[in-house]
Chain A
Amino acid sequence: MTSHLATAPRAPAAGFTDPVRDAQEVFRAVLQAQSHPGRRVRVPSGPAAPAPLGRAMAGVLLALADLDTPLWLQRGEEAALAYLRFHTGAPVAADPAAAAFAIVTEASTMPPLDSFRAGDADYPEVAATVLIAVAGFGQGQQVSLAGPGIERRQGFAADGLGAEFWAAWRANRGRFPLGVDALLFTDDEVVALPRSVGPEG
């Protein structure tokens, strides 16, 4: 059991206004995003969390993380760590391979995708979910996504995800049913990129 007594001198920033309702709304946004990978979905009720967590990313973490989901943060700012520990009780993992949620706030220096848990043949679901902050959608390298959730093709681009990322993602897609799942965030939107979806050609 994690003690929730604040050890920092100041209490962390506020989480959800209405935890039950807000978590459900955020979850529905992610569900919508994952039903239609590559489509931008607005994340409502995202709380103002300490840097480098944006609102949408923080909302999704508060909605989905808890005692059973170790977190790995690429940039572990103390305020962000304290915030997440306080609001979710999630343990923080030093080793990316131990993370259920990997929080990447600087895509250009992201560790290789195979640093994260990819599941195993008997239990593919234990693979990590990688949350990646991007500067914006619609700019940057254009790809044409295909896979479950996409009727024919879905054009997509994100500022910060270039050739190197998409090559890595193709390799991830090649490992299906293993592989990580990704959620891409701006401050108020999310795009889902499950392991079943990848760029055409």
Chain B
Amino acid sequence: MKYKWLVLGFVLSFAALGATAEGVYFHGAAGWEPPPLYHGNAFAPGGVGGAWWWVYEPLFVYVPGPGKTIPSGVFAGRDRMIPRLGVSYEDTPEAFVVHLRKGVKWHDGQPFTSKDVWCTFTLGYLKHWAIWKYLEKIEIPDDYTVIFRWKKPTPFAKPLIAANVILWPYHIYGKWAERVDLTAPTDVEPNKSVTEELLNFKPEKPIGTGPFVLDKVTASDMLLVKFPDYWAADKVDFAGVKLYRWVNNYVVWGYLIGGELDAAHPAARRNITQAILSLPGMKLATPTDLAGFCLAFNLRETLPDGRPNPFLNLKFRQAIAYAIDRAQLAQATYWAGLPITDYATGLLESMRANWGVTDEWMKANLTNYSYDPGKAAALLQELGYRKGPDGIWEDAQGNDLKFSLVAHAGYSDWVIAIDNIASQLKKFGIIIEPETRPGSIYWTSIRAGNFDLCMEWTATSWGYAHPWAELRRTLHVDGDTAKTIGLAETPYVFVGPDGKPVDTTALVDELGATFDLEKQIELIRELAWIHNENLPVLPFVEKRIMIFHREGVRVTGWPALDDPAWLLAPGGIERFYTTMMVEGVIKAVK
């Protein structure tokens, strides 16, 4: 009896697969919370999810490069701004003035005005948006002008303005925005109760101004349809977007191999990549992810077990750098990344040349740490270590060189990296005990100094795409990797190019405040020198996003693989897809 129905069910569902919706849907993958957790308020956890860049728009889209294929936008020296809700801007040290697009509508039909921008950035204060470090207030002289007034001038005005989408319309969220006190901290009244109320506000769907409207959400799919009143509706060639829920990379590989997606960016090992690329029309773009991986040394007075800390000695750190074949390490850890094999500048390998740190300059000024076990051995001998009969280096007292190396258990590439480093150093004669720690305690434990060697991020410039953010990570006392290595408390003295002790924090701050490009390059070079010659961490790979995209099935017109337009991807891959659609670069296959 039951079987009959089952069979009938199969037959029917196969029939159902044959039916198609009218118009071309872009097929992508993204994460969101499954219903009933899903809701449409970006302020509270569980809100909006992968619909983000499809339903919302920023004032401008910022590209840290020229962008060959994007028709609109202003290219100025190193970067360009593509107009979306803003049409033009004036950038001065005192204020950033934005002129808004007219005739834009929210998905519920209400007109878009400067009040919505004010409302969004005001509530952004409660979310500690990075821009509020520099922002004093927002003025709205009329419906289509917004003035961002700085309390301290910032060279990063453009990326900061462009980092956030306009996501809280005044006609819904205004009642909360009006109550926010911009002079008080976020955890005191009235801000505290506004936050609390916003966290508990859960409308069913997000309301944005973007090209697509959220239609349906389930635990496995999300369906967005084209917004008919969108200001550039004529350029958007797709009837809608179908998103597959991103449970983990493994599930997304399956969708890609099955030919179900037009684009997705799961990091994949070489064999999986080959399997995906074997589909006709499938291509792989690999723009930088604006971050890299490094091996971090503990630079505190003693190691956690009380031993005196050999990493305080620069030559010892250099010996480790020479002893590791970083090309091999990078290959095993993140094969699609950009290996960093010779130097250790603390800058993004793919972007450094734009900022004066060219190959020639490095060759002339920096120590080259490319793989050389002979040099490593010589350095250790110079420091008084001897190789024991078992092939392991020993100190003067006859103790084996033996260190722990920890990684975040949830980052599978880091787990592979520590195994790789352990086996390389074992061959060289240093015992490394790899250890993984669950994410819930990893960051706490390493920032408390509870490690000998560990895996960390380096050269992160999320949200800024500027060397200032990259160098700040490790060389400024407030930087996150600086906290891991113990920059604030280390007895090790950083030395500058002039051979004198140097305050790296002050230099980083100076870099973050200067508008003068020449001066910026000078400071970047100095800090790169300090990073390389003092070697607080050993970077080995720059992370790149692996964007698989399929040409000719449903979508056509993807930019060439080396087009700087791909630099839109880090920090919001859908920002890239939507911009390409709104600019009319990618089109539907009819």
Question: Do A and B share a complex?
Answer: no
Which residues does B use to contact A, with CB under 8 Å? Answer: none
